[in-house]
Amino acid sequence: MPETLIKVDLKQSPYENEQIHNRWHPDIPMACWVKPGDDFKLETYDWTGGFIKNDESADDVRDIDLTIVHFLSGPVGVEGAEPGDLLVVDLLDIGAKEDSLWGFNGFFSKNNGGGFLTDHFPQAQKSIWDISGLYTHSRHVPGVKFPGLIHPGLIGCLPDPKLLETWNTREMDFIATDPDRVPPLAAPPCAKTAHAGKATGDVKTKIAAEGARTVPPREHGGNCDIKDLSRGSKIFFPVYVKGAGLSVGDLHFSQGDGEITFCGAIEMAGWVHMKVSLIKGGMAKYGIKNPIFKPSPITPNYNDYLIFEGISVDEAGKQYYLDVHIAYRQACLNAINYMTKFGYTPAQAYSILGTAPVQGHISGVVDIPNACATLWLPTQIFDFDINPSAAGPVKSVTTDVPMPLSPDVI
């Protein structure tokens, strides 16, 4: 039996758990230590530490203070790990916590985080997804059921002081280019809500003041939200500090490429069973700057898709130069519009793109002036035929439980 080195009590605030932290900083004390070759389990909160509830109101999504995220389990120290090594992490298995077999997906208000399609969905909404073994379905989004491609949205090692300074400097400089933007350009350090694990006194104060927020993916990996980094994957992480300091959290039962809904995929509390080993000096040997990984041998076996194209011309008809972000947005909007013809509300269709194992591809980036992105919608997740036909779309979806929506309070 692998030992559970970090335990999480969902009834307890994550701030009271010393093996949890929500910032990146080299001085965060190791929560526990393992040896190369060890396998062990870590339990995790959902990324909000239990703030989002399984209920019929989106007020929690609207009102959440996003400076509290992400609550991570760790850092796990690995004996013998030194800067320049590669930490090899086998994700042996991942699951939902037995006392919490559900997850959430939502859209943040444009005034509190926003999301990929925030101009189209500016108000807070959420959907709750029940987890039943391999499968998930939602009372708020009928007509779909799919197996989970379970993965950690966030996993990585602690930065060293130089890398931390690089992150903070470049992101603060970026924010300074448009400091009043809504949503903001980046997330600066925020001492008030920092959780520095076991740290106390001056060290805790220093971590709170300087600790990098966990929102963006960075050179160490971090919040990459890669749906294919699923159980069974093997990841090779750059090591920057003695002991590596591996942390993990933000578990997703399932997610579409891009995690476009931002709050987020199907977010859940759970556990990760992993094994660690080292490649000494591996960063230089393999020329590694960002993590690399091998995919899982197990993936949902979809072989039929409806594929939506998008080009780098925005909703107003403005031309952009080979802009993949605009092109993917158009592909997503095209898919949402199509799904509404079968009875979905636009919000339900958006939720499906955020939660189901939808693929996003950069299809063309050289044919000036338009980039082409494609969104692959697996047709087999639907319990009706979603393909186009000469007969036209059949309204197949009726909703008994409306998707919770909470307008902003003015």
Which of 46/85 has CB closer to Zn ion? 46
Binding positions for Zn ion, 47-106, rule CB under 5 A: 47
Q: How far is the CB of 264 from Zn ion (least distance, A)?
A: 3
Whether 242 and 172 have beta carbons less than 8 Å apart is answered as: no
Applying CB under 5 A, the site for Zn ion has a residue count of: 4
Q: How far is the CB of 312 from Zn ion (least distance, A)?
A: 27
Q: How far is the CB of 223 from Zn ion (least distance, A)?
A: 8
Region near Zn ion per CB under 5 A, out of 152-160, 312-320, 356-364, 387-395? 152-160
Contact call for residue 250 and Zn ion (CB under 5 A):
yes
Whether 231 and 150 have beta carbons less than 8 Å apart is answered as: yes
Contact call for residue 27 and Zn ion (CB under 5 A):
no
**Sign of the alpha-carbon dihedral angle for 196, 199, 200, 203:** negative
With a CB cutoff of 8 Å and minimum separation 6, the contacts of 307 are: 374, 375, 376, 377
Which of 120-143 are b and which e, b meaning 16 or more Cβ less than 10 Å from the residue's Cβ? bbbbbbbbbbebeeeebbbebbbb
Region near Zn ion per CB under 5 A, out of 3-11, 243-251, 322-330, 337-345? 243-251
DSSP state of 211: P
Contact call for residue 113 and Zn ion (CB under 5 A):
no
Region near Zn ion per CB under 5 A, out of 45-53, 99-107, 142-150, 388-396? 45-53
Binding positions for Zn ion, 252-271, rule CB under 5 A: 264
Which pairing describes strands 86-96 and 234-238: parallel, antiparallel, or unpaired? antiparallel
Q: How far is the CB of 303 from Zn ion (least distance, A)?
A: 27
Strand blocks (E) in 159-304 = 217-218, 221-222, 234-238, 244-252, 263-267, 270-279, 292-294
Region near Zn ion per CB under 5 A, out of 103-111, 158-166, 168-176, 248-256? 248-256
Region near Zn ion per CB under 5 A, out of 25-33, 43-51, 106-114, 126-134? 43-51
**Sheet holding 305-311: strands in order across?**
305-311, 372-378, 359-364
Closest CA to 222 of 276, 154, 273: 154
Closest residue to Zn ion: CB criterion: 264
Q: CB-based burial of residue 152 (10 Å sphere; 0-12 exposed, 13-18 middle, 19+ buried)?
A: buried
Which of 262/293 has CB closer to Zn ion? 262
Q: At what angle do helices 346-355 and 324-340 cross, to 10 degrees?
A: 120
Does residue 31 sit in helix, strand or coil?
Answer: coil
Binding positions for Zn ion, 307-336, rule CB under 5 A: none
Q: How far is the CB of 304 from Zn ion (least distance, A)?
A: 27
Q: How far is the CB of 1 from Zn ion (least distance, A)?
A: 29
Binding mask 187-226 for Zn ion (x = CB under 5 A): ----------------------------------------
Q: CB-based burial of residue 409 (10 Å sphere; 0-12 exposed, 13-18 middle, 19+ buried)?
A: exposed
Which of 85/250 has CB closer to Zn ion? 250
Q: How far is the CB of 288 from Zn ion (least distance, A)?
A: 25
Binding positions for Zn ion, 365-394, rule CB under 5 A: none
Q: First and final CA of the chain: distance in angstroms?
A: 53
Tokens standing for residue 98? 């037995």
Which of 47/108 has CB closer to Zn ion? 47
Region near Zn ion per CB under 5 A, out of 148-156, 325-333, 378-386, 400-408? 148-156
Which of 51/240 has CB closer to Zn ion? 51
Q: Which residues of the chain form contacts with Zn ion (CB under 5 A)?
A: 47, 153, 250, 264
